Amino acid sequence: MAAADKFRPFIGRASTPVKNEVEKGAIRKFAEAIGDPNPLYRDEQYAAGTRYGHIVAPPTFSRTFDYGVIPDFELPVAGLIHGSQEFNYKKPICAGDVVYCANKLLDVFEKSGSLGTMVFLVFEQTVADEAGEPFLVQKSTVIYRPQA
């Protein structure tokens, strides 16, 4: 059996969207961790004077949200590598926003190379408002090496 086969039945399946509250303290801690001094991420008074009106989340902050679990889908614990990450931004995420986050398995494919068999799992993650209008859509490719 090909290593990718056990993942293929889950293509197209998604988690139930999870409600996440965007907290200004979480944004500030994230900005501190990445060493980004931008006042938009920490200074409420400054941010209020901009077109955003509120503290804004940095471009990759959305990765910190809870996206729920795809029913019955189990990701291996070991042998995983983050291969690539894409963001498609629709509207800014600000402190105080309530967002609904879901994860879907978009595609599975297999490649053989010098490192042995590699299974590529492509996930599409959506961050939307209560009406279902997206803030952003992100795509993550996770590489699984069964022999690792």
Partner 1 sequence: MERMERYQPGQALGPLVKPPVTKTQLVMYSGASGDFNPIHTVDEFAEQAGLGGVIAHGMLTMAFVGQMLSEIVGVEGDLLTFGIRFTGMVRPGDVVTCEGTVKEVEDVEGRQVVRADVWGMTQKQERVVAGHAEFAVPLG
Judged by the rule CB under 8 A, the positions of this chain that interact with partner 1 are: 26, 29-30, 32-36, 38, 40, 50-52, 58-60, 63-64, 81-89, 92, 139
The answer for residues whose C-beta is within 8 angstroms of residue 115's C-beta and 6 or more apart is 145
Of 16 and 85, nearer to partner 1 (C-beta) is 85
β-strand pairing of 18-21 with 116-128: unpaired
Of 8 and 83, nearer to partner 1 (C-beta) is 83
> In whole angstroms, how close is the CB of 97 to partner 1 at the nearest point?
17
Helix (H, G, I), strand (E, B) or coil at 54: coil
> In whole angstroms, how close is the CB of 82 to partner 1 at the nearest point?
5
Helix (H, G, I), strand (E, B) or coil at 52: coil
> In whole angstroms, how close is the CB of 34 to partner 1 at the nearest point?
4
> In whole angstroms, how close is the CB of 96 to partner 1 at the nearest point?
18
